[in-house]
Every structure is written in structure tokens, then in C-alpha cells.
Amino acid sequence: MLNKVLVANRAEIAVRVMRTCRELGIGSVAVHSEPDAGSLHVREADEAVLLPGVTAVETYLAIDRIIAAARDTGADAIHPGYGFLAENAGFARAVVEAGLTFIGPPPDAIEIMGEKTAARRVAGKADVPQVPGSSGAVESADDVEVFGKEHGYPLAIKASYGGGGRGMRVVQGPEEVADAFAAARREAEAAFGRGDVYLERYIQNARHVEVQVFADRHGNVVWLGDRDCSVQRRHQKLVEEAPAPGLSAGLRAAMGEASVRLARAVDYVGAGTVEFLVEADSERFYFLEMNTRIQVEHPVTELTLGIDLVAEQLRVAAGEPLSFAGSGPAPRGHAIEVRVNAEDVAGGAFRPSPGPVRTLSVPQRTGVRFDAGYQVGDEVLPYYDSLIGKLIIWAPSRDHAIDRALQTIGQVIIEGVPTTLPAAAVVLDHADFRAVRIGTRWLENDINLVDLLPPVSPAVSEVEAEDDGYEDDRQEVWVAGRRYLIPLPALVGAEPQPDSDVSVADGNRRARTTSGGKRDAVRRKAVGSGTVTSPMQGTVVKVNIVPGQKVSEGEVILVLEAMKMENPVRAAIDGTIASVLAQQGQSVPAGTALAEITPADA
């Protein structure tokens, strides 16, 4: 068995790996950035090493620094978790060349399956069904248009060296190609260090189903069941469950056997996940990608099979054979995972919302597990992913699991940052979800979160929301295709005053000043005034405007990146750009003035 493992990650997955190491009597080492010095994963580790810097590039993506930390602490293995360097073949090679054990598949397997076009070629040779796609990376928007003419729209532009929805854009028609191509490349570069993208025909009304595979160094390769991950927003999963409901035994077996063939084709070792698109009301499935790491949603498989997948990773990395035999073990009951992200879901916007965690209370009851990356007093930082933790529910049946999950969500209290829990409750309580009438675009296209979610936001209220009597203190801004009213910069993030009332709803704090409240900011009519302010803390990654330029209402004028997600900011009025107050690369707090627009009728 291994003696000491350095975990090259942070937050929830780092904590998860370290706790399993402790159970197995293995020492653990944390690496951390400067802002993460007091974080939970650092407190959980037996040892911790500072990686000087703030950004992921300076710290959690710094291969040489991480390997040096492993050597300095005497670690004999490195676990990459998920995200960051988990699917970086160069990192895996560097670990092996340093004489350390990489807890994951061989570098060659990571490289082949991580380069999506190469993975498609391997899938073809392994007789795994797949959707039409480009033969390699595409170099220009013109290449995208040529593909669109041949295969039709919608199509998907996807990062060649990534996954998890980063660097992915769905293009509905040729008029969207140029902007989508540029955005996909930019986001892929930021998330994975490579801007290469490829194309696939986008299948609508499909379910996202994935198969868990595991392999050891003794020739054993098995599949361990499936998960449904169809409930997504911005191609990021919100709710996952196992087993995937409503599939025939034949379809499950076919996907599992295809996954094993794919793993064998690249001499795979360790935990991996093969993702498929399953066409609605059919037995047809198509290869999407293979994730050469432990998945965020692995706990639902653990709870239905009684297997600790992280412990299995550690044993296999140490050279031991798999602790289970044969593919397709029968699941016991049903499990649902709800991702709890620090995002404001008011109006369906899912705005990244970093901040301090003031209260965190999860009910302790049978069938409830919470894998957390934060505790009370910790701060969700704007530099990294927004995942606070994962709420995992098990019950004997799917309906029971849904009911138990809804009851549990209703009793979770998280204060200090808004979370995605209210949106998860809407999903689980919806008749379509119970009836498995879902697909990858179901949440975004068929569910009106504007009407189903209350506008509980400390800084932003949806324009259609109930009038609170303070229009004079708000400005208009467009984010992700929706219009919002936000307080003037001086008020954003302000603590409630003594004459304010505060209520907690669905784990989110809402502060509203009463009619008699005093405000320090200068009152002025702001709605439609042309002042464009930042709706969130983030980094300006693109500026589309210059002074004197004419813009139309709804036009994207800037793009903000916050917590690894891009958020377009749109003009709220027709007019002319009077001034541009933000620069590309600038980090801005919520409420920062970004631009001034002179109204067209001024």
C-alpha cells in the first residue's frame, strides 16, 4: 500500500481523498494557494505546502511546484482529484518520471482520451457508436461554417483537451459561428491551457448517461453501472442519479460492454467514466467522451454498490487487483446527488457568487451524505470553482430518494452565499423529472425558473420580480440573456442596516430595507440611464466596445469570467458608447461601473 499521498487539488475532492487516505492509514499532503491557506483541505491534511500565488495557473496548475512539494514532503504518490491537472498527460508523465506513483491511468491513455478527436478515432476502432464530428481540431470559424453546411445545425464546438462543459458552445445557425468559435477557444485556453476545439453534430432531446469503468494492472477491466447526468445548465451538471432510470437491461449492457472495449483499447488502469448521449425513447446511444479520472458524481455509484471508489483507486495504484469481480453488479436502491454551488439562481441566471460561509447546517439522517469542501467561517473564493459541496441521498427506490432529497434540501441552511439548492428543489419536485421526461436541454429550455424561483438575491433582483419600491436605486443590466435590476455600486454587498428586515429562504439570505430605512448612497434615477455595472465579482475577459460605437439593447458589450464560467454582459438600452471604464484582464467587484451608454433618444 502507499505511504503518503499528495493531493494536487483543493476543496471538496481534496478533502474526500484525504479522509479515505486516513481510513487506510496513508498520510496526506495538501498543496494550496495563498488565498487557500486556511481552507478545509489544508486543515484536513497531515501536511501542507504553500504554492505562492493566487491564480490556478500560478498554483494548482504549476506542475514543477507540485512535484517539488511531493519530493520535499516524502510523498510517494500524487492523486490529482478532478479538474485542474487530473486529465493532463504531461503532468502524469512528470509524476512518473519523478519516480512517484500517479493515481490514475497511464499518461498515454490520458493523452489519447483527453484529445477528443483522437478519442473518437479509438472509439471507432473499438466499435463504439458516435455522432458525426470533425476529423480533428478546427482552425477557424470558416471551418465551422463548412461543417454546418454539411451536417446541419445545431452543432457543438467543444474543447479538444477538456471536458465538463468548459470551452463548449452550441451553435444554432451560421450567424452565431464567429462569436461562439472565439468564446469556445478562449474558455478552453483559460480552463485547460489549450485552445484547440473540434466539432460534433449536436443531438437535441438526448439524455446524458455515463458508465463507470475500473481496470487494474492484472488485466481486469469491468463496468460498474451507470449514472444519469441530464439535468444541466450551461453544460454543467446540477443533479445526477444512479442507476440511470428508464433504461432497458439490454441498453445498459450494450453501453457497459462498449465502455470496456474502449478502456481495453487504450490499456486503461484505474477509475474512468465513459459518457454517452442516449436518444429519447430509443435504444440508440452515442459516445461523447471518456473522463480519465474520478468523477464529481462518483458518490451515487458508491452508495448504490457499496464500493469506495477512491479507496479502490489507491489500491489499484499500489499494484493490487480489483477488489470486485465481474461487470454490471446489481445496484441496491437509488441515489441522487445534488451539486451545491455558490451561485445565485434568481431568474435562472446561476450567477457565480463568492463570499463567506456564515452558516452551514445539513440534517443528519439515514440515507444522507454531504461531501463538503467548506465549513462555517470559510470563504468561497472567486478564483476557483463554485462547488461548496455535494448532497447525496440514498433510498430503496427512486421515488423515495426524490422525496428524501426534497425533505433534506428543505432543511439545509447555508447563509453568506446564495446556492443552487433552490433550483435543485425545483428540478426534483417537477413532474417531468419523476417521469424521466428529461434531456440535456430540459432545464434550460422547458423549465421557467423565473416563475418557479423566488427572487432571493442579496444584490440582484429580476426585473419581472415583485416591485420593492426602490427603482430609483437600481440600474439595469443584461446577463446571460436576461435583464436584471441591480443596486448602485455603493450599495452592492452592503450589510443590512438596523432598520432592515432579513429573512432566510431556501438557504439564501435576503436583505430588504424597510420603507423607513436610510441610505448613504446618493439617490438618482438609474434604470435605463446607460450605466453598465458588473453584476458579479469577476474578471473582464473580453471588451467588444469602443467610445463612439453604437449599440443596441441586448448586444453583448463585455464578457466576464467568474469561477471558471463566462458571463456575457449586454447593453440594456439603445445608444452610443460614451466611455469604456473596464479593460480586458481587469478584476472587478460586483457593482463596478464598466461602461456608460448615451441613450439613443438623448
Q: Is the same domain home to 194 and 243?
A: no
Average model confidence (pLDDT) across the chain:
85
Q: Is the same domain home to 165 and 261?
A: no
Q: Is the same domain home to 409 and 428?
A: yes
Instruction: Look at residues 157, 164, 258 and name the one whose alpha carbon lies nearest to residue 201.
Output: 157
| CATH code of the domain containing 494 | 2.40.50.100
In degrees and rounded to multiples of 5, residue 133 shows phi and psi of -155, 175
Reported as a pLDDT band with limits 50, 70 and 90, residue 282 is confident
Reported as a pLDDT band with limits 50, 70 and 90, residue 502 is very low
pLDDT for res 188: 86
Q: Is the same domain home to 160 and 46?
A: no
22 pLDDT higher than 80: yes
Q: Is the same domain home to 394 and 436?
A: yes
Instruction: Note down the domain range covering 58.
Output: 4-103
529 pLDDT higher than 90: no
pLDDT for res 456: 46
Determine what percent of the chain falls in helix, strand and coil, rounding each to the nearest 5: 25, 30, 45
Distance from C-alpha of 52 to C-alpha of 65, rounded to nearest angstrom = 9
Instruction: Look at residues 3, 45, 47 and name the one whose alpha carbon lies nearest to residue 25.
Output: 3
Burial category of 184 from C-beta neighbours within 10 Å (exposed 0-12, middle 13-18, buried 19 and up): buried
> Which residue shows C-alpha cell 500560478?
58
Cα 515 to Cα 301, 468, 519, 536, distances in angstroms: 52, 9, 11, 26
Reported as a pLDDT band with limits 50, 70 and 90, residue 216 is very high
Please, what is the Cα angle at 391 between 337 and 236, to 5 degrees? 55
Mean pLDDT of 275-302: 93
pLDDT for res 585: 84
Largest CA distance in the chain: 75
Reported as a pLDDT band with limits 50, 70 and 90, residue 146 is very high
Q: Is the same domain home to 263 and 305?
A: yes
pLDDT for res 455: 61
User: Going edge to edge, which strands form the sheet with 556-562?
Assistant: 461-462, 482-487, 474-479, 565-570, 556-562, 538-543, 587-588
Q: What is the pLDDT of residues 40-49, one digit of tens each?
A: 999 999 999 9
Mean pLDDT of 56-67: 95
pLDDT for res 539: 84
Distance from C-alpha of 25 to C-alpha of 28, rounded to nearest angstrom = 10
Q: Which of 69-73, 385-389, 392-396, 401-405 has the lowest mean pLDDT?
A: 385-389
pLDDT for res 280: 81
Domains of the chain: total: 5
Distance from C-alpha of 507 to C-alpha of 138, rounded to nearest angstrom = 44
Distance from C-alpha of 375 to C-alpha of 40, rounded to nearest angstrom = 7
3-state secondary structure of 34: coil
Reported as a pLDDT band with limits 50, 70 and 90, residue 375 is very high
pLDDT for res 205: 76
Q: What is the pLDDT of residues 534-557, one digit of tens each?
A: 877 778 989 999 999 999 988 899
Where is pLDDT greater, at 337 or 566?
337
| CATH code of the domain containing 161 | 3.30.1490.20
pLDDT for res 563: 61
571 pLDDT higher than 60: yes
483 pLDDT higher than 50: no
Q: Is the same domain home to 472 and 585?
A: yes
pLDDT for res 528: 47
Distance from C-alpha of 559 to C-alpha of 541, rounded to nearest angstrom = 6
| CATH code of the domain containing 69 | 3.40.50.20
Q: DSSP state, 545?
A: -
Q: Is the same domain home to 249 and 261?
A: yes
Nine-digit cell string for 274: 465513459
Distance from C-alpha of 202 to C-alpha of 207, rounded to nearest angstrom = 12
Reported as a pLDDT band with limits 50, 70 and 90, residue 477 is very low
Domain end: 280, 313, 332, which one?
Answer: 332
Q: What is the pLDDT of residues 74-97, one digit of tens each?
A: 999 999 999 999 999 999 999 999
Q: What is the pLDDT of residues 438-475, one digit of tens each?
A: 999 899 888 888 878 866 443 333 333 333 333 333 33
Mean pLDDT of 412-435: 96
pLDDT for res 469: 33
The rounded percent of the chain whose pLDDT value lies above 70 is 86
Q: Calculate the dihedral angle through the C-alpha atoms of 352, 439, 402, 350, rounding to the nearest 10 degrees.
A: 10
Q: Is the same domain home to 120 and 242?
A: yes
239 pLDDT higher than 60: yes
Reported as a pLDDT band with limits 50, 70 and 90, residue 117 is confident
Cβ–Cβ < 8 Å for 48, 41: no
Q: Is the same domain home to 238 and 117?
A: yes
Q: Is the same domain home to 74 and 115?
A: no
The distance of Cα 225 from the centroid of its chain, to the nearest Å, equals 23
599 pLDDT higher than 70: yes
Q: Is the same domain home to 270 and 369?
A: no
pLDDT for res 468: 33
pTM above 0.85, yes or no: no
Residues 6 or more apart whose Cβ sits within 8 Å of residue 580 = 543, 545, 546, 547, 594, 595
Domain end: 315, 332, 349, which one?
Answer: 332
- Mapping DSSP onto H, E and C, the string for 59-102 reads CCCCHHHHHHHHHHHCCCEEECCCCCCCCCHHHHHHHHHCCCEE
| CATH code of the domain containing 264 | 3.30.470.20
Cβ–Cβ < 8 Å for 416, 358: yes
Domain end: 418, 453, 488, which one?
Answer: 453
